Structure formats: C-alpha cells, structure tokens
Amino acid sequence: MKRSREKAASELFAALYPRLAGWCRRLVDDDGTAHEIASEAFTRLWARWTSVEEPRGFLYVTAANLVRDHWRKLERERRAMHRVTSEAAVRPHPEQADPSVRLLVQSLPERLRVPILLHYYADMPIREVSVLTGRKEGTVKADLHAARELLRVHLRRSLDHTP
C-alpha cells in the first residue's frame, strides 16, 4: 500500500511539477520563487494525500494561494519602502544616515521582535504566530501594534534628529 502510494505521488510529481512550476514562474517572474511555490504546493498535497480527491486541482489552487500571498508580501514591502523613502525625502538630513529598519527591529525587546519577524519577515498569519509563540491572537496583535509604534517613534526620532 505504502509503496503504491509513493509510486503514485512520484508519478504525479513527474507529470505535473514542470508545468506547475512554469505556471508559477509566469505569475511571479522569478525562477527560485516559482520553484519554492510549486514545491510547497506538492508538500501540502503530500501531507493531505489520502484525503485529496483531485490532486491536480488541489495543487493549482494551493499554488494560486501561495502566489497571492507572495504578491501581497511584495506589495507590503513596496508600500513600506515607499513610506520610508517618502518620509526621508520630506525630511532629509544629510548629516545623519537613514536608520536601518533591520537594526531598529533587532533593537526591539524580544517580546515584540519575535512577532514582527514572524509576521512581517516570515509572512506568517497572526494565527500561526500565536501558535508558535504560545500567545493568544489578541496578545500577538497588541504586540505587533506596540512594536510598530516603537519603530515609528524610533524612525521619526532618527529622521528628525538635528545635531
């Protein structure tokens, strides 16, 4: 039974992976990301192998959801970069270098830093951050809010700083 299950999965992978990865490639315009998405879709299929009736449909729906998540992440990064660069353009201070957001995030207390890293950098939903940190979803939301406020204050202070 297990041998035939593995053989069926292997045959399905050989038949569908190239086409799925190519489809993802056209959507995300990056080979590495496309292969990550296609591989993740197969990993999720394998985890539910016995309960999925239509593997091909499951793969494409899962990949589409992962592509959408990728696009959302890119859009959040684009908006964040736009905010940071437009704030810097409004208040330029050549005598002081722009603060590094990464360094500011690293300076946060661990209680606030971990949810920021998981939610914004690892693109995990609040529910997953809650499970991983062992905190209630409301607590994670409050921590994310507190961290964003601290980062906002630090960024303003750094940008407004006059020698």
Q: Are residues 110 and 80 in the same domain?
A: no
Q: Indicate if the alpha-carbon torsion angle 20, 24, 25, 31 is positive or negative.
A: negative
pLDDT recorded at residue 88: 56
pLDDT recorded at residue 34: 95
33-69 core/surface letters (b: 16 or more CB in 10 A; e: else)? bbebbbbebbebbeeeeeebeebeebbbebbeebbee
Q: Residue 117 is part of which domain span?
A: 96-162
Q: Are residues 143 and 85 in the same domain?
A: no
Q: Are residues 34 and 81 in the same domain?
A: yes
Q: Are residues 85 and 131 in the same domain?
A: no
Map residue 30 onto helix, strand or coil.
coil
pTM over 0.85: no
Phi, psi (deg, nearest 5) at residue 94? -60, -25
Q: Are residues 30 and 9 in the same domain?
A: yes
One pLDDT digit (tens) per residue for the chain, 163 residues: 677 878 888 899 999 999 999 999 988 889 999 999 999 999 999 999 889 888 988 899 999 989 989 988 888 888 888 777 776 555 544 444 445 777 787 778 888 888 887 788 767 789 988 887 789 999 999 999 999 999 888 888 777 764 4
Q: Are residues 21 and 62 in the same domain?
A: yes
